[in-house]
Copies of this chain bind each other. A is one copy, B any other.
Amino acid sequence: VSRTIGVDLGGTKVLAAVVDDGELISSAKVPTPASGGASAVVGAIERAVGQAVDEAGGGEVVGVGLGAPGVVDPDSGTVVAAPNLTGFDRPVPLAALLADALGQERVVVDNDVNAAAVGEHRLGAGRGVDDLLVVFVGTGVGGGMVLGGRLRRGPGGLAGEIGHMVVAERDGRRCSCGHPGHVEAYAGRGAMEAEARRCHEGGERSLLVEAASGKRIKSGAWRDALEAGDAVATRLVDDAVVALGAGLASVVHAVDLELVVVGGGLADKLGATFVGRVEQAVRSRLLVPTSPLRVVPAALGDASGVLGAALLPT
């Protein structure tokens, strides 16, 4: 038996899948409960897993892996803090709760970005490469660092926190974490939207902001605004490319890599052109132009999280 269950626990939905040798056999989605505390979330995971297993025609599984949106201690399977989940404002021993609820001995819980990075490394654009960084450019900018074929966490769990690399020490835009000049303050969709709204309110008319009205500006809207030549969107995406290029060049000058995989909602929508521009931005900042570094788009899209989670117990 090589089947495992992967769970991508998000702030709005729980995605569960049965995965066999890297192949997705079945999947099911349920909404993440907005109230009821941790036990309600565990119940929702149980339902999603049950549906996915039923759809796969039942059968034995050898383990469950889950990616959670927050700070996780993977050794104990505890979600230390996950502000977007009800009942997770204090530590929740999620692996133990799920082992009990699902009747599974082997349950592994990790951070969702780590799980997705494992997915891209083992099954996606990073297959066969031992030293790589997987960067996800979405609402924020996160990543997973793989060195010597293994996901690196580091002694303080900060490895791969690419969004918080410093690219503009002085007078930099302020990051959601409070520090100035971080990559995420330029390349995270949340920060980019805030900046676009500031520009628009400052009198620089932006189709991007007008089209979204009061609603969240989605990744597809950024792509559409770029294609329509919107000046604010064009400038802010340029800034994002520069910040990612500088941050990734710093990664290369710190540990050197052969591959950077760029995924996440915004990068997926902006596509290969965006990733190619990021590659150019990185290469143009390297000390040695002969570096073997390649920067490529992620291959698994939204599925990286659930596929990577399914690999965690293996």
Contact = CB atoms under 8 A, between A and B. Distances in A.
Chain A contact residues: helix, strand, loop or mixed: loop
Copies assembled: 2
A208 B289 CA distance: 37
A253 interface: yes
Contacts of A160: 254
A164 B158 CA distance: 21
Contact of A286 (B153, B158, B285): B158
A167 to B, nearest CB: 5
B285 A158 contact: no
Which one of A157, A167, A291 has the highest number of Cβ atoms from chain B below 10 Å of its Cβ?
Answer: A167
A54 to B, nearest CB: 41
The size class of the interface chain A forms with chain B is 35 or more
A254 B254 contact: yes
A1 interface: no
A255 to B, nearest CB: 5
A168 interface: yes
A170 B168 contact: yes
Contact of A155 (B170, B256, B285): B256
Given A287-B158, A287-B177, A256 B168 contact: no
Interface in A224-252: 242-243, 246-247, 249-252
A243 B181 CA distance: 12
Q: Which 3 A-B pairs have the closest CB atoms?
A: A154-B256, A156-B291, A166-B246
